[in-house]
A and B are shown apart, each in its own frame.
Chain A
């Protein structure tokens, strides 16, 4: 089955700096790659996603890139703000079978 690796497990940045989180997946048939933000005591919130026919997608301060050949994808957050502090999860999906990475705890220091 699909295996998703995510790193780093923790990331601390200064407010205004950029943050990058990277994931790799094992099954080349995976075709949908969402990113979720989870705040303490809440469920994961979908923040951006990319499908396998696209190499990059951007939404304001966040962007995701996908390299199908290398089977890795990344989340980029620019101009980080304290409210970006949370745990971020990547996932890889084939149809309705979605597997998650272990998460990255991002801390943005004011």
Chain B
């Protein structure tokens, strides 16, 4: 079966621009997570959805970051007014069983 997919795989943008990153979770997985991974570091939690609602958004660094999951499946992470410090790999994961998370390949975001 298909795993978690993320698009685009790479995104290069200019400082100040708006970007959207998409995640397609494993079919039937009710929980969806966004993480950010900087070079040489482990994934850092951003936000977690249970169904359509954001159950925990405590990891979002500031109000430039926002995520939605309107139909309880696909999710979009939105970053406004991008800054060079936003450059990282953005990972999405989904799960059916509490705790057991399966990751996508990530989107590498580069802000010039």
Residue in A89, A93, A100 whose Cβ sees the most chain B Cβ within 10 Å: A100
In the docked arrangement, what's the CA distance between A97 and B104, Å? 18
Identify which of B43, B44, B91, B98 contacts A96 (C-beta below 8 A).
B98
Contacts of A31 in B (CB 8 A): 99
Identify which of A4, A43, A100 contacts B4 (C-beta below 8 A).
A43
Query: Would you call B55 an interface residue if the criterion is a C-beta within 8 Å of the partner chain's C-beta atoms?
Result: yes
Chain A interface residue count, Cβ-Cβ cutoff 8 angstroms? 26
Query: Would you call B34 an interface residue if the criterion is a C-beta within 8 Å of the partner chain's C-beta atoms?
Result: no
Given contacts A44-B91, A96-B33, A96-B48, contact A103 B103 (CB under 8 A): no
Are A96 and B42 in contact, CB atoms less than 8 angstroms apart?
Answer: no
Per-residue contact bits, chain B 77-112, to A (CB 8 Å; 1 contact, 0 not): 000000000000001000100111111111000000
Dominant secondary structure at the A interface: strand
Chain B interface residue count, Cβ-Cβ cutoff 8 angstroms? 25
Are A103 and B101 in contact, CB atoms less than 8 angstroms apart?
Answer: no
Contacts of B62 in A (CB 8 A): none
In the docked arrangement, what's the CA distance between A4 and B56, Å? 20
Are A34 and B101 in contact, CB atoms less than 8 angstroms apart?
Answer: yes
Are A97 and B56 in contact, CB atoms less than 8 angstroms apart?
Answer: yes
Contacts of B100 in A (CB 8 A): 32, 34, 46, 49
Query: Would you call B21 an interface residue if the criterion is a C-beta within 8 Å of the partner chain's C-beta atoms?
Result: no
Residues of chain B touching chain A, judged by Cβ–Cβ distance below 8 Å, are 4, 6, 31, 33, 40-45, 48, 50, 55-56, 91, 95, 98-106
Residues of chain A touching chain B, judged by Cβ–Cβ distance below 8 Å, are 4, 6, 31-32, 34, 36, 41-46, 49, 51, 89, 91, 93, 95-103
Beyond known contacts A32-B100, A49-B100, A103-B40: 15 more, CB 8 A cutoff: A32-B98, A34-B100, A43-B6, A43-B105, A44-B43, A46-B100, A46-B101, A51-B99, A89-B42, A91-B42, A96-B33, A96-B50, A98-B101, A100-B43, A102-B42
